[in-house]
Structure 1
């Protein structure tokens, strides 16, 4: 809260990969990120500020900061009320009948649908302690580094059986212990660098050092299995400063792939589309394949033949595939054989796609075509206010069931070709680099095959 005079003292600290925020001297936020290690500092206003802005500008200081030593406690929190535990660990206490408040504790009874509480913040080095009471047949699985390659799970059963597992498959340690009580227990999972420790009621059941450990970050939480009943009375979280990893190169200094003019960057491979190659999110991923921007089960199951990807109408988002590696400012040509069997919608090739926009080479079933600039580059519904038409026209005697589409992005020059005939050519220099791919508009039905990506020949 503000001070008595309404003022707030805000402190931002950037030291190495450590970023923290204090409000009036109290820690409010802390995280670690390795993307940018150097740069400028400053501040900005998001609204008209009351009072004298000049005084605000005069009353700020900048001074060197030292990184927090590895192993230092950077955050400690204790959650002792059911409401606090539920809200912190993403549980819907009001609407989930698997959750109840009983004896000032959070009663978790998942029935046939297990519960998976977790926090949103990611940490590399953390200690999680639960005070839990096992009711009837019960089991818990504590986790650290969730959503990472170093996921740790510690399963504790009411009958005394326990195990410690890496990535849900590699057994690190297991056994049976009388330290596990049928009633109340204090369960502690500690993940500090390569050292993993499991304690029950103060007794160490396992202390393991991970061989070849590389620092990873993940969230923290626990599972309550089907048929279990567990009361949680207290949760404690301690985050420690991790050993700083090797710095990654800034985004504008990564290695740019090199090709010869006309050389193939990507050749048609059905497996890339049917099986995928990863999460498919925007980014500079070196995994050389296509994958749908928004995961949709029909691509993986039935909506493809031996040679074609079939597109069914979707009224909420584009059916969009993006070539994962960023092509930077390489001159590229993307081509595909496509069909449109719906009366509405459209199909498009695109290039120079980043988070701020892309160029689209778009054609409709009625033969109308466009080269356009779209300032929204993901799979959201296209809106007129986001589109700038750079060139347009209509194809005579058009057959939407037989299209050989091609788009070239060579410096500022953008060229759209259909069945070997140039439809339009225009110059625009707003988007200098980015990714390429293909999409079908909402309410479109059709297919595509033989998608290729080449380094364009400079003409």
Structure 2
């Protein structure tokens, strides 16, 4: 396709200058991590009598406690808000599914623990236990308790329906100390999914049987003590409680009890997003590492922040992107990884199931420019910023229309870039007037359509020169395209390098975070932290300017951009090599 044009260039006009910058660490309010430090309970009862089914399993709530266990852990942990803790104690719940001592709990209860102590109802001393297998993305683990002849639970077989009476059993923390509790509720939503900071679970049960810190890993049961799921999180504000559903948990548990980890690299991780030593950091914080796991063997430590996995930048503060890669990788498959060491901001790259981590650079000495300030046009260190704009200062931006049109506006107002194009099927480009000397760049923006046609495109642009550029375009209907544009005099021609559809895009005039990586000949497009597509092209090897664009099928399109950042991709080029 060829389009004739006369390039129209105009400087942006400031309308209102606002210079407020708020930087903060984002805390996860959606789910509480159910691990706590507490002394062991002293249970002195000695009589063990159980109402059982023909199989010998517990079949009533009165005897449920005999199959539910309190788990204490010791290990080396490092929390985002705290320093390194060696031999730190934690507390959680589990439940026995086999009289031989096989029990189920959460990964975040036992991952990284070097010592497990399990308290059985009716006993005054804890028993030792070992971890057989873990699934960090489904937040499940199976342990084997020393001994035999234990009371145990079985699974609920009928269909799980909303309104079913359910009970949460476990050992939560309270003002009166730790002790066995049972809370009642109903199934409010029998099937759902979550991507949180502590879990990415495809099949969950939402219920109203109250969970408290310390209930992690305990069973969600019926009135006949049949297991529906494994409790792992709650939202106290909304009074919602969540369990890994039976249909997801059972097949994973069967593999774990056989000694096979499922969807795991060996970390106890939390999605994080915020400031660390004055640097903007987003990724997966490693609380602890399982001994002998791929994470341990590649050199991952507690306190490391995994910023890239495979070709993905982990950019949304959850475990979603991390777990998508883990689930789609084969066991033992090498996976590129980039981490930032939190104590000194050194950057390390390596591979799970491959070469160990090696230091490649540091972020410690990289100055982070304030919004609106120029960073370093010659930046070459991973994470170093070329520039960061909040659009309070428009002097470095200019506009171009294709084909030529005078009927548009490009202004800054309230710290936002506001673009308006009146005629239909005209593209309005806004570029930052700076040639980047580094061939690799990552660009990001937050954009929102304010008014105009439902059929429209919002795009990021990189490697802009007189010869052409690359454009990463999101349509209003959730489709995406990566274009190669060539310029020859007064003509533009474009080629679609890659295209597709994605559910990552927020529709109905909602804001969308767009990001694009141009690293070597690799082009990657992200929408709201999800990698939607990638391709390879070597037509424009690097450098040039960067910017944004809008296009409308009908007249009167208005779009706002809240910020724009251009930086050297973290881990570049190591994190972006395709297998």
Q: TM-score per shorter chain, which class?
A: 0.3 to 0.5
**TM-score, normalised with respect to structure 2:** 0.29
**TM-score, normalised with respect to structure 1:** 0.37
- Relative to its length, the structure with more strand (as a share) is 2
